[in-house]
Every structure is written in structure tokens, then in C-alpha cells.
Amino acid sequence: MLDLSLHILDIAENSIDAGALRVHIAVEEDIEGDRLVIEISDDGHGMDAEMVRRAADPFVTTRWERSVGFGLPLLSEAARRSGGELSIRSRPSGGTRIRAVFGHSHIDRQPLGDMAKTLITLIAGHPDIEFFYRHRRGEKTYTFSSPEVTRRLGGRSITSAEGIALLRTMVRECLPAGASNRRASA
């Protein structure tokens, strides 16, 4: 994957496949601490301890249509390449939390990518799922929620032309300036 937003898209899709009705995505840019933290949590089916232990193995998957799963292994490797790590917390019927830490200014850290496009793709593709996004950079925090878009539409569909237009506007307004493809200067 070329950027971190694509990893986020993949992990969020896994959440939906695991029966999640709510997906929380958080990005924290700690410039002083030289860390970029991405956290995706859901209220899906969750995993038992054995599956959590094996989840970052590319030859382990719960999908029947293929015998390999690359989402978590690729995210884990991307974090490791930048001096970071991946952690997974989950329990059956208790949802899952994926946390990836990256060296923010590390030369091998992938760019964040187009978070607006990722959020729009997730929400338009899964209008019945509630998505919550938080992006913190320094002292500033930016937030977005798909239930707020739905509320503002007043009963009109989020997948209608009007709904998609409002979704695009609201997502782009919630992102910090320069969030797409931003990388700290060394």
C-alpha cells in the first residue's frame, strides 16, 4: 500500500466484515514526540486470544475466499519500518482495537495519504455504519462523525447526490489543513 490512509481503509473494512456497527478512527500527530499514531477500534465480533496472537501473520485469515490476509501484516511492517509497532486488543463479542505507532519524521514512514477520500469511500460504501474520526495535531483536534452528516440531511439518504456533496464538504472541513500527504520536516 502506498500510504497510510489505504491501510486505514483496509482495517476499517475488516471491522465491517467482523460485524461492526460503529468504527472509530483516530490519527494523532505528535510532532514533538516524533510519533504518528493511528488507532482503529470497533464494536464487531472481536477475536479470541489465539487469533489476536496470530493476526499479524500473513498466512492467517478468517476469510474463506482466500487463504492469506495481508491487511494487518502490511500495517505492522509499515510501522516497524519507521521505528514503530502494531498492537491489537480484542476479545470475543467485545470489539477490536488496532493501534499502529510510526516514527513521524522517519524517512521510511509512508505519507498519511488522502484521509478525506478514505472517509468518503467508507461512509458512502457503508451508509448504515457509524464512523467517527478524530485527528489531533499538537494542541488542535479535528473531529467528524457520519451520524452528524445523517442528522444534517434530515432523512435524506447519505448516498444521494445531495448526501455525497454534504459528506464531501463536511469531511474536508473537519480535516486539518495539509492533512493529506503531510510529512514532518526533518
| CB-based contacts of 65, cutoff 8 Å, min separation 6 | none
180 domain-assigned: no
Cα–Cα dist 130/139, whole Å: 26
Global pTM value: 0.87
179 domain-assigned: no
Task: Supply the pLDDT for residue 102.
Answer: 98
- Residue 9 reports pLDDT greater than 60: yes
Domain carrying residue 142:
4-174
At residue 121, the 3 state secondary structure works out as helix
pLDDT mean over 170-178: 78
184 domain-assigned: no
Burial class of residue 63, CB neighbours in 10 A (0-12, 13-18, 19+): exposed
Percent of the chain with pLDDT over 90: 72
pLDDT mean over 64-92: 81
Q: What is the pLDDT of residues 100-124, one digit of tens each?
A: 999 999 999 999 999 999 999 999 9
Q: What is the pLDDT of residues 140-164, one digit of tens each?
A: 999 999 999 999 999 899 999 999 9
CATH of the domain at 114: 3.30.565.10
100 domain-assigned: yes
- Residue 3 reports pLDDT greater than 90: yes
183 domain-assigned: no
